[in-house]
Amino acid sequence: MAKGRALAQLGHPEEGLEFLETALELEAEDPDYHEALARCLLALDRPDEARRILNLGLAVDGQHVLCWVALGDISRERDDNRHALQCYDEAVRAMDNQARQRMRDLDWIEKGKILLNAGMSSEAERQYTNALIAHPESARARFRLAEMLLELDRNEQALPLIENALELQPGSRAGRLLLARAQEWDAARETLAALQTEFPDDQSIKRSLGLHLAPREPEAALECLSLGDWNSALARCGCLRALERLEEAVVAAEAATALAPDRLEAWLALGWSALEAGATEHASEAFDGALGCGVTDAEALAGKAAALKAAGKPADKLHHLLAEAEPELA
């Protein structure tokens, strides 16, 4: 986030935008990132998008001072002084609450994030628990702890934490998305569908619904999955392959590799899609892309060998490598 904010402040908001959008995707539960991205959008004269991002940040934490201030600034620039004053009043009210709350739980939450990123999940869990002991009304600490538990596949423990946090912060869209991750498939489908109905223009909700539907309802998932990010494009490719719409699947996989050229999964999807579509040369090139991702992957070797065989070319050397890497696939 710091690099993106610095670029925006130094007069390079276009460059800063890319960093901040990526940062927000990784830290969707932290409204500091919403405020930073909104300021960058304002520098690009995109106030409507900035307002939307700020409202998402306030849905995560309605007491976030800087989001209220930025929202007030937008209204002031539009000569909507009444709304601007309301936003500034909210910022002043939040400031006292925030000073009391954040000093008690922020340090533990931030330490928990660092420990979790370092793979020290037990220590991270202890820090989040400390935050809850110090401030039992903290929805944010509950969300953080629940998110960590979900990463560890401890959904049953995460679910009540999320439900309790949503009682404290019922308007949190990010919290409801987290709830869907913890729920069983059918319940999660209902949660995501309700969110999509309530917020039809929220692309992150639409994408989450599409990713959830993809394994079981590929036709329905396609309505929610775009080619705008690599993960959605990859899931779209999988849906199209399941529906035997192979040429479209190749297009989706090509989009995924263009958006994430270092992702092995994207190249593998392109390779298999092209091979199934009969485009053996394209498939062979895609598996080369997979093998160029820095790892010797058995599936990539198997795919390359299959593409060469389909094209009537020798693949003995690849079969030898595959036998060494993964004998059962050779």
| 79 lies in some domain | no
Does residue 197 form part of some domain? Answer: no
The number of domains in the chain is 1
Residue 184 lies in a domain: no
Q: Give the contacts of 235 (CB within 8 A, at least 6 positions apart).
A: 210, 211, 214, 221, 225
Query: How confident is the model at residue 80, as a pLDDT?
Result: 83
Domain assignment of residue 272, yes or no: yes
Owning domain of residue 276: 226-329
Q: Do the Cβ atoms of 20 and 5 come closer than 8 Å?
A: yes
Distance between CA atoms of residues 8 and 21, nearest Å: 13
Q: How far is Cα 54 from Cα 33, in angstroms, rounded to an integer? A: 10
Note the pLDDT of residue 9: 44
Is residue 121 in some structural domain? no
Is 269 within the bounds of a domain? yes
Q: Is residue 142 part of a domain?
A: no
pLDDT per residue rounded down to tens, the chain (330 residues): 443 443 344 344 566 676 677 766 666 678 888 888 888 888 888 999 989 989 998 988 888 888 988 898 888 888 888 888 888 888 878 776 655 555 555 567 766 776 776 677 888 888 888 888 877 888 888 998 898 899 889 999 999 999 999 999 888 888 999 999 999 999 999 999 999 999 998 888 999 999 999 999 999 999 999 998 899 999 999 999 999 999 999 999 999 999 999 899 999 999 999 999 999 999 999 988 988 886 667 888 888 888 888 888 765 555 554 554 445 444
Q: What is the pLDDT of residue 11?
A: 46
The per-residue pLDDT for 329 is: 43
Q: Is 160 helix (H, G, I), strand (E, B) or coil?
A: helix
Is 314 a member of any domain?
Answer: yes
Give pLDDT, residue 296.
63
Cβ contact 34:56 at 8 Å: yes
Structure tokens at 213: 């539907």
- CA–CA separation, 19 vs 1, rounded Å? 7
**CA-CA-CA-CA torsion for 154, 22, 177, 149, nearest 10 degrees?**
10
The count of residues in the chain is 330
The one-character DSSP state at 319 is H
Assigned token pair, 76: 């002031």
> Looking at residue 314, which CATH number applies to its domain?
1.25.40.10
Q: Dump the DSSP string for 257-268.
A: HHH-TT-HHHHH
